[in-house]
Amino acid sequence: MLEVQQLAKRYGEVTVFRDVSLQVAAGEFVAIVGESGVGKSTLLNCMAGLDHWDEGRILVDGTDLSTLDDEARALLRRRELGFVFQAFHVLPHLDVAQNVGLPLLLLQRPDAARVQAMLEAVGLSGLGARLPQELSGGQLQRVAIARALVHRPRLLLADEPTGNLDPATAARVLEVLRSQARASGAALVLVTHSASAAGLADRVLRLQADGIRG
């Protein structure tokens, strides 16, 4: 489902990482760990076609992202990808249900029942009509998770999705991510600093400046 080959990322003369190669199969759950600043979010953004890299290739479902223009990348993201950002990126002027339903709307497949089911799965039923500013950080994080899952993407990329949650809620939300991914045969890539979150994965990879290893 996802293949990263010999990826390198630099800012000018400064190399963030190089020689990063990994594969994630459909239905597989891979955790990526590593020190703060080593490039985990950058790598995830590259996988989503949201950032540029300097060497190597990324294939999503066999498609080389570098062969796609911006519009084609956006379309691939919309159809195939769910992304939970480290900083949520919830839209402030849409209510919770509208935020969660946005991927379905963009695909012209609105589905209020599916939106409600996702809100319930992450423990936010009843909050659909609230605006993001009326939610706590942990609630916002769960909005972002519900939105990433709502359209049953084939590839799920989650950047520290439980960083703002208490242990019990974190465990519950991770279970939602994992079970939804498994149910739809999606590949799940989770960036985390949490040992217990990483412990749920089929494989744990450690990112370092000179590569990524199991």
Ligand X SMILES: Nc1ncnc2c1ncn2[C@@H]1O[C@H](COP(=O)(O)OP(=O)(O)OP(=O)(O)O)[C@@H](O)[C@H]1O
Q: Which residues bind ligand X (CB under 6 A)?
A: 11, 16, 34, 36-42, 86
- Measured from the CB atom, the residue of 39 and 128 that comes closer to ligand X is 39
Dihedral angle sign, alpha carbons of residues 172, 146, 141, 174: positive
* Site string (61-80) toward Mg ion, x via CB under 5 A: --------------------
Are 28 and 201 within 8 A, CB to CB? no
Six-digit token string for 159 = 């950047």
Q: Is 41 in the site for Mg ion (CB under 5 A)?
A: yes
Could you tell me the smallest distance in angstroms from the CB atom of residue 44 to Mg ion? Answer: 8
How far, in Å, CA of 104 to CA of 155, rounded?
16
Q: CB-hemisphere CA count at 13 Å for 79?
A: 8
Q: Is 184 in the site for Mg ion (CB under 5 A)?
A: no
- Measured from the CB atom, the residue of 16 and 122 that comes closer to ligand X is 16
Number of residues that bind Mg ion (CB under 5 A): 1
* Residue 38 contact, options ligand X, Mg ion, none, Cβ 5-8 Å cut-off depending on partner type: ligand X
b/e per residue 53-64 (b: at least 16 CB within 10 A): beebebbbeeee
Q: Is 5 in the site for Mg ion (CB under 5 A)?
A: no
How far, in Å, CA of 155 to CA of 25, rounded?
10
* Residue 11 contact, options ligand X, Mg ion, none, Cβ 5-8 Å cut-off depending on partner type: ligand X
List residues binding Mg ion (CB under 5 A). 41
